[in-house]
Structure 1
Amino acid sequence: MTEPKLVFTGPPGAGKTTAIAALSDIPPIVTDVRNSDASLAKTHTTVGMDYGEVKLAGDERVRLFGTPGQERFAFMWRILARNAMGLVLLLDNSRADPRADLRLYLQAFGELLRDTPCVIGVGRLDTHPEPSLDALADELEQLGWVFPLLAVDVRQREDVLLLVDTALAQLEARQWQDTQS
């Protein structure tokens, strides 16, 4: 049987690599290279994927995959999202337009999200409080989506684990609903 897979996605610098490293029980595999894109304020960027694993209750493990953030790697987004049990969308509130980032990733993963749990983690709210979580929730509602939105610090294992637990809770609720139908 295949182990469950959770995909972390979001714009460059949102913290996908950091989140996986904070949570993974194994040394994460990263495909970072020196950044040559002057529009990104970072020295390295993911070009393939990140990979880690986290052990849950019992012997269950969840495989953690991180997508590259740049839109030119959207083909990797689709590959990595295949057979995912859930999606964690990370947003960086210090970016120029977090709402546009939200729209871009919801559109890119729209087909998957019809049947797959999603949780949205918003980082850097402490230093960049706008847009607020309420404003992002309003944006979600206008787009016809309802997903949990959480303030996170992707460097903190507990925060990242809360994102995973939230996605798993949605999955369990859907499975329970299916048994009731």
Structure 2
Amino acid sequence: MNSVRSDPPPDGRPADDEAGDRYDGPRVALKILVAGGFGVGKTTMVGAVSEIRPLRTEEALTDASVGVDDLDGVAAKSTTTVAMDFGRITLRDGVAIYLFGTPGQERFWFMWNELSRGALGAVVLADTRRLTSSFASIDYFEERGTPFVVAVNCFDGADRYDPPEVRTALDIDPHVPVLLCDARQTGSAKEILVALVEHALRLAGGQATNGRGESPRAWQSVSSAEE
């Protein structure tokens, strides 16, 4: 599992020492990517879970993008991420997750190689109205051997499909978790991150699965939220 350990407090004492209270850096930092097609909800998801004001590099869509960006299904979208989104969430025991949202349009894919360096894994957001927009992200992480989960962002008014149906449509390997989520909801987005971390641990020789390749706890939590 890829992780980056932060330096200890300058004086070498434990962080829970009185003097160490001034040291706010995490003991362990994990890097996670949030990927997917254009308009699938990457910026929304990063903003939903970030404890800091997320960094966004959104620019307005102009006439120059006509015929270049595919707005099918997202005609109301007026901005696009041109570099990345960035957010942070701190867990207990000094573990911090740094989230990097990738640009969705093909002309910005050159950013992916830089953003993916040192990443623990990736969340691939999918929109059932435009499932084909997820293929590029899935192929990229499969080719690099990067652990990833597929999170179906349940947009209002979109047809709902069970995860097995989505798995078949996307031709995803059985061990890759496929979950439902609402990228706008903090709790739902956090469960996806938990599922990814657990999946990465399993691939590294850690925990067992429930037989379907999914994280039992994360799956149950998301399923309960949908009921």
2:40 matches 1:9: no
* 144 and 173 in structure 1: CA distance in 2 versus 1, 3 angstrom threshold: closer
TM-score (ref. length: structure 2): 0.69
Identify which of 29, 43, 61 aligns with 2:96: 61
What is the identity percentage for the equivalent residue pairs of Structure 1 and Structure 2? 33
Partner of 2:188: 159
Partners of 1:137 and 1:177 in 2: CA distance? 24
Q: If the length of structure 1 is used for normalisation, what is the TM-score?
A: 0.85
Whether 1:117 and 2:147 are equivalent positions in the alignment is yes
RMSD: 2.1
User: Once the 2 structures are TM-superposed, how far is the Cα of residue 59 of structure 1 from its aligned partner?
Assistant: 1.6
Q: In the aligned structure 1, how far is the partner of 2:134 from the partner of 2:80? A: 20
Q: 1:61 to 1:150 in 2, by over 3 A?
A: same
Q: What is aligned with 1:33?
A: 59
Larger Rg: 2
Residues 73 and 16 of structure 1, relative CA distance in 2, 3 Å threshold = same
Q: Find 1:175's aligned residue among 177, 181, 204.
A: 204
Secondary structure (helix, strand or coil) at the match of 1:27 reads coil
Unaligned runs of 5+ in 2: 7-28, 208-227
Letter of the structure 1 residue corresponding to residue 100 of structure 2: F
2:118 aligned residue: 83
The 3-state SS of whatever aligns with 1:167 is: helix
| Aligned residue pair count | 172
Where relative contact order (Cα < 8 A, 6+ residues apart) is larger, the structure is: 1
Q: Tell me what 2:175 maps to.
A: 146
CA distance in 2, matches of 1:23, 1:52: 8
Q: List alignment gaps of at least 5 residues for structure 1.
A: none
Check whether the contact 1:94–1:124 (CA below 8 A) recurs between aligned residues.
no
